[in-house]
Amino acid sequence: MQRILILGATGQLGSELMRACGSRSSWGAKGLSHSDLEITNASAVRTALGEFRPWAVFNCAAYNQVETAETDPLPAFTLNSAAVAHLAAVCHELDILLVHFSSDHVFDGKSKIPYREEDPAFPLSSYGLSKLSGEQAIRLLHPRHCILRTCGVYGHARSPGAKLNFVEKILGKAGRGELLRVRDDLVCTPTAASELADAACQLLEKEAVGTFHATNTGSCTWLEFSREILRLAAVAGNVEPLELPDSPRIALRPPMSVLCTDKLAAHGVKMSSWKAALTSYILRRAT
């Protein structure tokens, strides 16, 4: 039995990893929530890993508040960079394979074609910088790592500190009859946490190391995504483009953050189109 430890286990992705790992008979997975383990507490992390001695760790614990990180970057860097660096060092010391998740926000979005893993990263926001810094620390400190960059994650679980995911936010606002104003100038690939978890487990089964782009396939703007959410859920709602001058947002986001998933596919891991993944999410939500 190979022991797997999942950090941030009650989040969108962590919950799906608990399911995906649990379905593999040769893996024994243990999940730790934020209240079980504060990953910025270096000695607690060392104790947790030293006592459980996992074969692999999935790190899903992260600071994801892009806007707040712009005015107060310290919590983002403490969690996404410093704590990740320490986790990588402990994994290196104990010879544990570290699977970590990063973001499309490490890119500046100026490319006209999907970003490949080796393309230069140039974050526009503090959040993006904190995620890139975490990636770099892992690469420097622990060769036995697998970093999966992803985009626009939505999942059924919501842990205590997390905001509503984008799909639920849109459905909630539409349900209350609120006007929906959404960015139509940012192109991305929304990604289902369930499929991301399955892809991460498949890479771990192969003991793949290095950096991978792991998203659903295809692309859309956030406005197109919103309209598809409403269409699939059969919820009436008006969605209008949110123009930048009207936007109170302060964090810059990459205008084009579609990630090329050829490397993932070359490792035998396929993810479905963003529309198919969204359909499954909406169907499961209704049951």
Q: How far is the CB of 250 from ligand NAP (least distance, A)?
A: 18
Q: What share of the chain is helix, strand, coil (3-state, %, to 5)?
A: 45, 20, 40
CA atoms within 13 A on the CB side of 45: 25
Angle formed at CA 27 by CA 22 and CA 31, multiple of 5 degrees = 55
- DSSP code string of 223-253: HHHHHHHHHHHT----EEE--GGG----S--
Which residue sits closest to ligand NAP, CB atoms considered? Answer: 11
Among 131, 85, 122, 117, smallest CA distance to 209 is for 117
CB of 25 to ligand NAP, least distance (A): 25
Q: Which is nearer to ligand NAP, 236 or 271 (CB)?
A: 271
d(CA 15, CA 139): 26
Query: Nearest approach, Cβ of 245 to ligand NAP (angstroms)?
Result: 25
The distance of closest approach from Cβ of residue 3 to ligand NAP in the complex, given in angstroms and rounded to an integer, is: 19
Question: Which one, 33 or 238, has the nearer CB to ligand NAP?
Answer: 33
In angstroms, what is the minimal distance from the CB of 88 to ligand NAP?
14
What does the DSSP assignment read for 102-153? EEGGGS-S--SSPBPTTSPP--SSHHHHHHHHHHHHHHHH-SSEEEEEE-SE
Q: Judged by CB, which is closer to ligand NAP: 14, or 254?
A: 14
Give the footprint of ligand NAP on this chain (CB under 6 A). 8, 10-14, 34, 37-40, 60-62, 64, 79, 101, 103, 150-153, 159-162
Cα distances from 8 to residues 5, 11, 58, 162, in angstroms, run 10, 6, 9, 11
CB closer to ligand NAP, 180 vs 191? 191
Residues 91, 92, 93, 94, Cα dihedral to 10°: 50
Which is nearer to ligand NAP, 104 or 232 (by Cβ)?
104
For residues 203 and 205, give the distance between their C-alpha atoms in angstroms, rounded to a whole number: 5
CB of 174 to ligand NAP, least distance (A): 20
Comparing C-alpha atoms, which of 17, 66, 64 is closest to residue 196?
17
154 is catalytic: no
Nearer to ligand NAP, 167 or 174 (CB): 167
Q: Which sequence positions are flagged as catalytic?
A: 127
